Chain A
Amino acid sequence: MKIGRTVFSIFMARSKQKKKATPGQEALSTAKISNRYFLAAYFLFALQGGVALLGAVDLVIPDLPSPVPAEYGRSIHLGLAVFWPLIGTMGLINYFVQSELQRTIYSYRLLRWQFWLVFLSALAIYSTLALGIGNGREYLEGLPVFYLGVCLSLMLGIYNLFRTIIKAGRASPPVVCMVSGMMFLFLLLLPNAFSHSNPVADESIRFWVVHSWEEVAFELTTTGIVAAFLLETALADRKTVEKLLYLEITLTTVGGLFGVGHHYFWLGFPAYWLIIGTAFSCLQVVPVILLGYLAYKALRLKQPLSKRVKLSWLLILSSLFYHITGAAGLGLTITVPMINLYMHGTLLTSGHAHLALFGSLGLLVLGGSFYCLSSGAELDDQAFRRGKAGVLLLNGGLLAMGTALILAGMIETYLLRVAGMNFSAVQGVIRPYLLARAGGGLIFTSGDLLLAWTIFTVYKGKRARANPAPAK
């Protein structure tokens, strides 16, 4: 209850200052509003664990009653999977742009508007989907008007960031990286706020979010956030980071934008897209290797770290592990047209999506949000142990889910596409793997709730110390 009240008071807190705020008050208001992004991300992340687990169980227990129509449960899971990392990323960009430029964000009022627009749009999508009202486009199942709300929020964010850069009179490479990512988030979502009647056009534009959000926009924001984190914690020197970052931005943008071609192989596009998609997908791996190199250099420093930074770094390192293995390695393997021809449309894609979307993006946002939200606080031994257990469970659960889905996908590919078995019969054969996936989901959700609990208690303690109760 106390945690609930703390979260509620943060979300509802408004600046009562009517007069023009002083720089100190502005910084305080900005920090308060930024925290809302992180708390919202953790709250929606915890919710996603529960929703996804119910969906996984529904697949293996026949006739399981559900308050949400079965065909909309998956839509809510996908919607949550996209929007909590988006909200967390917005908060992280604000935090690290301020830290890089050494000044507060241009307008904390815009920051507040931006938050409420994206948060309420996301909530509206989940609520309407729970009632069976949607748009029937995978990953973008909500009503188009709500995506316009998200676009507006992104626009406000971009404007605020530009004004901040103009006021600061400079922009460092991590700032350029993060702001470019934010601009791509907006540009790639806007055409998807509308439906297109031709199914081939609709599918190809939909992949600007399904693929390009993840592999262009979020790839840029991730790189900028990791770079800014390494600089702030002195885990990297500015010269190395700045040297690599412009190369990262160029390769990510070019490789990612044209790499969308690997989703166009079997959509009704001409055959030369097989070459375009494969060639640019190979290019996409290079910036991931560069990011891995930055992390390797940071690890070699063997710098003593506080428990707070250590736990955040653990989450970010987990994210980089999945970035290299699940996203880049597995992603490139299944992009090869001869492999893709057989595995496309099987659970192998789902295994890749779990490792790439949650593994690389989700864990990064959790790590960054943890770092920012606990700023100014230190973890005691108990909180650190609890947090570490949460990270371990998340990784164990994710690896179990990913492995089960990949194995199920490989068996499905062979039985369906090579042995010629009927689809329904194949589902019976892979059921044990789906059960194992549900087990992995249970482990994952335990870690999800443990980590969310840890961050809420750390944050609550920080607030209690900042605002001590008046003596009786």
Chain B
Amino acid sequence: MKHDDPKLIDALAAEFVLGTLGGRARRRFERWRSREWHVERRVQAWEERLAGLALRLTPMRPSPHVWANIEKRIGATAGPGTRSTRSAPAAQPRTSMWRPLALAAVIVVVLVGGYVAWNVTQRLQLHTEAMIADAKAPTPAWRVEANRDVSRLRLVALGGAAPQAGKSFELWALPDNGGAPVSLGLMPDTGRLDRDLTEAQRLALRGASKIAVSLEPQGGSKTGLPTGPVLFVADRIKSA
């Protein structure tokens, strides 16, 4: 599988650090790096290998307003452990009374915010649902990723299925109870496609251990059921 090739990951990491990985590839790699520890490790190795190149530059002293703005932006004067050397030392009992309360409020906000963010990340975090591949082909056709409750899919074309003029590839959930296949929408011919599933699609996918891709008229099956040949059937990868 292309994305597990350590050589490729390392080459991408090197060009990311160098800055020559640009545009959308850069954004994509950035997300990948923040998700995958092994990718991050390679980035770090390159950062450390190349740092010496820039450390050779003669230092330049920033203008005084730069720090003033940073201080403003991090709200430094209100933080604990701050010993401001420039602000007036006059004691202000009225404010200091409120300080512990304000600090407590900030802590609550940070904790709640952190929990919400964690929760959202957990919900949005994608895992690989299935690899759709022809066993004889050198490259897989698509990778199907989903978030935890499978309400969101990411379909990544990997090049193993040649697009056909006037035709579309359509993804189906094959219910374990033997019910009719349920369409999960069209597959991208190239690149990547994110899709939110309807509740009906989501339940169908949860009740299916296999998914399939069929070849349909452009725009997808008109009948709601596969009409063309079923080209691929894949097992969903069981996640814990």
User: Does B associate with A?
Assistant: no
Seen from chain B, the residues whose Cβ lies within 8 Å of a Cβ on chain A are: none
Seen from chain A, the residues whose Cβ lies within 8 Å of a Cβ on chain B are: none
